[in-house]
Amino acid sequence: MSQPNAMFNARILGTGSYLPEKIVTNADLEEVMDTSDAWIRQRTGIRERRFVEPAVGPTDLGLQAAHRALQSAGLTPDQIDFIIFATLSPEYNFPGCGCLLQEKLGLATVGALDVRNQCTGFVYSLAIADQFVRTGTYRHILVVGAEVHSSGLEMNTHGRDVAVIFGDGAGAVVVGRSGNGNRRILSSPLHAQGKYARKLWLEAPTSLEHPRLTEEMLREGRHYPQMDGRYVFKHAVDRLQESVREALAENRLEIEDVGLLILHQANLRISESVVRSLKIPPERVFSNIQRYGNTTAASIPIALDEAVRAGKVQPGDVVVLAAFGSGFTWGATILRW
């Protein structure tokens, strides 16, 4: 039962992730476009990524990640009070993935919310879950980030700058009340700057046109994601380090206090630039983009789950999660594990 006037601390109770079995290497991409393993590694750090089989959607991946997060939290699906689903690649324009996942979990009337903040979707979702738990509105919230990029990429030489970056996958966490006030989500500063919306975007289908998708749009490739790579790179480096510093300052913490930093897995070169600027030791940074590519809203929860299961996060550690993406949007979540 909700207690809207109560105040609690919230923390992550459990983590989970799921990656499709199909591995697509850089050598595989060489077969369908003019690229090379060396070219991709030099620009992105990516060696391979995962792609789904046909007819597998983000809620199928999210369901598996959710079950693992629930198991980690020691909970069953019927103990979930609310679902937040972050994705840029929903099965359908509507209804949202949250509702589809709710049905797959067998939760009859539990509320469900979709967050469409692309690469920052997970940190925005965590901030929402934190507030719902803090105010006593919900006790256990399932937060999922899941993506199926492979069915929406231009897999040829023309589209290679974007196509080589992305992969499919899902990550999930359960957010609930903290029995220990020290183990909690501390804060989540969030930002956006819509003036740069067209630097990283997917134009079509669009409700600005009638019909929303035309043969001309298809011929021009306007239904594929477009990115000004150099522009995005510069802004990502600047905004990610700003987000980390802002989150730490809000809680009177220093870089030296950070036990683990997990950046959105967009590009290894971006991450390395941010880490150098922050002067944080590499051993306190977790990265897995080499194996999975950019899974946008799923990248941070996948990395967090892997770090937790590998023992890289211990109770009491300060953990910082930071993301930058389309919008432009950016933000960070800082928590005491």
Is 67 catalytic? The answer is: no
Task: Supply 249's token pair.
Answer: 């300052």
Catalytic entry in 119, 140, 267, 288: 119
Which helix (H) or strand (E) segment holds residue 191: the answer is: strand 190-192
Is 235 catalytic? The answer is: no
Scanning 135-267, the segments in alpha helix (DSSP H) are: 160-163, 215-220, 229-250
Query: Any idea what DSSP says for residue 21?
Result: S
The partner residues of 61 in beta bridges, in order of sequence, read none
Task: Supply 171's token pair.
Answer: 């990550």
Q: CB neighbours of 180 closer than 8 A, spacing ≥ 6?
A: none
Q: CB neighbours of 37 closer than 8 A, spacing ≥ 6?
A: 25, 26, 27, 30, 47
Residues 95 and 103: their CA atoms lie apart, in Å, by 12
Is 264 catalytic? The answer is: yes
Q: What is the dihedral of CA 55, 125, 263, 26, to 10 degrees?
A: 10
Give the DSSP per-residue string, 23-46.
Answer: EEEHHHHHTTSS--HHHHHHHH--
Task: Supply 101's token pair.
Answer: 């996942």
Residue closest to 194 by CA, chosen among 327, 88, 331, 330: 327
Residues 62 and 297: their CA atoms lie apart, in Å, by 11
Catalytic entry in 117, 149, 264, 288: 264
Catalytic residues: 119, 264, 294
